[in-house]
A and B are shown apart, each in its own frame.
Chain A
């Protein structure tokens, strides 16, 4: 802003005259500037913002999607705490966060400690491409892939039998004790590569002299990690946390394709409950309240993680 102001004033000095015409033209310019953003704003308001407020409105009603809605007060929200199925759906997300976010970040950090200078190696671009690959595959395809891997005669059970561990074979997605963990592990598979690529590129930005100096001073690799690598990666860790935690909270496609929340309610998640209640079981108000809680949760967590972000990152 100040730059434009300075340029403007120098421009004025050049022309030498400040006329009323110019002031009027600037006011017209301001209106024209408005026109540049109006279409985008209209899209945003019509399809995202207004419906979001409507969701909040819906959540105070009982409505089956067809007949007249009746006022429900906060009952739908009370149900989220009292209804075991809904409460569990939020607890399941807690488990998924561990698999989607915590485990990939810890693994990737440990690996970054061991291979901190991988970015300088030949062939790194190939590895980066492969590690990042799961991120670009449609979630529905990822889901059918793992559905097949976890199937009774799928890759996983076949491999277990191949090494003589027949006793461990299971119907992974059909078993109450393993279904949620199996879904979560897909998240680990998705995100380990993402975190690793992110952290290795972050370490690549550290000046090599820092590491050289630390080694000359006789720092152990552990000291090097906590003294140099970890602080340098703060920005990348924040990004990884945001991406992975938000993606775990939003889990829908994977559950819809692989388990539909089953067996029983063992793998149901809020996004699936919101969808299922709104469009299948005629509990639109309840669905909206789940959506509201999920949205607020995502906004709060994003804001909290954002506070970890160092200010000077680009």
Chain B
């Protein structure tokens, strides 16, 4: 297919304009973050680059603790969700059992329900169980939310798996569980990877659940820490910008390396709902 030169130029022009639209606010943050704190009365192009804001934000904002807390929650949510999603996704795709449609629908409801639908009683339930203000209150609800997506994702993946291979394994006398772990999971690794990436991102960025569930400073996750930090340093935009970059960086770096997985996962996972 040939594209004429004028069409090409217009296309690049439009794309560049909107790419700039996406980037300018983010570049603004980066510039603000490296503007020396003493001079930051407002937005300006700094004469010198100063990384002191990062150090100061890191120290004053307890971000080492917030990041550690975030990492703990993300790892736990991803591991539990992945194991349970692979098991349940396999059952929904490959096994026949009574009530499978109803159960699938119930679990899928988690994709549609906004957090507002359940967060209020959930808080009081977990408080009665004495697990608010603990990692459990951060991890368990987010596992439940992630499972809806994870099971849906794995079921779709496993339904496309060639039937002959599975039947062959069965004829050889392999149990369902062995078939799953040894025959089906290894070639599905890329799709499991994508699922883990997306769940990591959503868990890392989650704000409402940590906001409601914990008050202890050492349990605060990174976004909650930033909100808290913002409350204290409301107008110190240089510090805020540096703190924001610290929090966004892990996911953005992952995204730059694995953008195809992110984009196809986020769009594909939802469009095939």
Question: A residues near B, CB below 8 A?
Answer: 1, 3-4, 7, 11, 29-34, 36-37, 39-41, 43-52, 54-55, 57-58, 65, 111, 114-115, 117-118, 120-121, 123-125, 127-141, 144-149, 151-155, 157-158, 189, 192-193, 196-198, 201, 208, 212, 235-236, 239, 242-243, 246, 249-250, 252-253, 256-257, 270-271, 274-275, 278-279, 284, 287-288, 290-292, 294-295, 298-299, 302, 313-314
* B3 partner residues in chain A, CB cutoff 8 A: 117, 120-121
User: Are B15's CB and A36's CB within 8 A?
Assistant: no
Question: B residues near A, CB below 8 A?
Answer: 1, 3, 7-8, 10-12, 14-16, 18-19, 21-26, 28-29, 32, 41-44, 84-85, 87-88, 90-92, 95-98, 100, 103, 106-107, 109-110, 112-125, 140-141, 143-145, 147-148, 151, 163, 167, 171, 176, 201, 204-205, 207-208, 211-212, 222-224, 226-227, 230, 235, 237, 240-241, 243-245, 247-248, 251-252, 255-256, 259, 262-263, 266-267, 270-272
User: Are B113's CB and A148's CB within 8 A?
Assistant: no
A44 to B230, CA, bound (A): 34
* B112 partner residues in chain A, CB cutoff 8 A: 298-299, 302
Kindly report which residue of chain B lies nearest to residue A299, judged by CB atoms.
B112
What distance in Å separates the Cβ of B250 from its nearest Cβ neighbour in chain A? 10
User: Are A148's CB and B91's CB within 8 A?
Assistant: no
* B22 partner residues in chain A, CB cutoff 8 A: 130-131, 133-134, 189, 192-193
- Contacts beyond the supplied A153-B43, A158-B42: 4 A-B pairs with Cβ under 8 Å: A118-B11, A138-B207, A148-B240, A299-B112
User: Are B106's CB and A41's CB within 8 A?
Assistant: yes
What distance in Å separates the Cβ of B273 from its nearest Cβ neighbour in chain A? 8
If A132-B259, A138-B223, A294-B116 touch, does A114 touch B247 (CB 8 Å cutoff)? no
User: Are A145's CB and B26's CB within 8 A?
Assistant: yes
If A30-B98, A133-B22, A141-B244 touch, does A54 touch B147 (CB 8 Å cutoff)? no
User: Are B230's CB and A40's CB within 8 A?
Assistant: no
